[in-house]
Amino acid sequence: MTSFISYSKRLERLLTTMVSSVETHAKWLNTLSFLENCGARKIAACEHPTLVKEEMLKHAAEEFRHAHYLKRQIGRITDEPFYYYARNQMLGDMITLHYLTALNLKTSRFLKNTNQSKTSIKELSYLLVTYAIELRAQQLYLLYDKILRQNNSPITIKSILLEENEHLKEMKEELKKFTTGSLYAEYVCAIESDLCKEWIKQIEIQLNIEKKE
């Protein structure tokens, strides 16, 4: 099974188009904020009532901070209020709303067909989903940062990029503790790649961008 697929050319074209329009750029920032907030909430939902590692607390706190930071960045390019995560103020429509939920569900179903214990399944699901998302985030934020600098944008995401890179390193180290971690990661990254492809397609339709592989 193919694992992570980058879609870098399509993503770069999308980001270039979004940054060129204040309205679309603001919606993009709100979309990223929503996804970061979703990630933080998913991490918090995975926590044991008492057996919570500092690493998980740190990760959830940073994701919540990213969501707030991105929401605040909207005010640097427009006075239009973006109080909530309304569908008409984001990109990707229903795919954005259910991106992480779909990835979680598909990962859990996959793990239930393995010989893992319930405790291992919960821990592995958190690690695998987070790894796949952080891998995508690293790519996406690197491209976004490059395009922001090329356009002399007042928006900056360097702090987020640094923390996302650190999250990815942490997930890689944790997955090494499982003998099947690498194999399972490839499978879950393939699931995420399929979701990302549909997400890109939906945004391309919204922005009237011709699909090019």
> pTM to 2 decimals?
0.94
Q: Kindly indicate the confidence band of residue 42, based on its pLDDT and cuts at 50, 70 and 90.
A: confident
Which residue, among 3, 9, 39, 4, has the nearest Cα to 143 in the 3D structure? 9
**Per-domain boundaries in the chain:** 8-206
Return the pLDDT at 178. 87
**Is the C-alpha dihedral spanning 126, 128, 130, 131 positive or negative?**
positive
What's the pLDDT band for 61 if we cut at 50, 70, 90?
very high
Q: What is the pLDDT of residue 212?
A: 52
- Average pLDDT of the chain is 92
Give the model confidence (pLDDT) of 68-102 as tens digits. 999 999 999 999 999 999 999 999 999 999 999 99
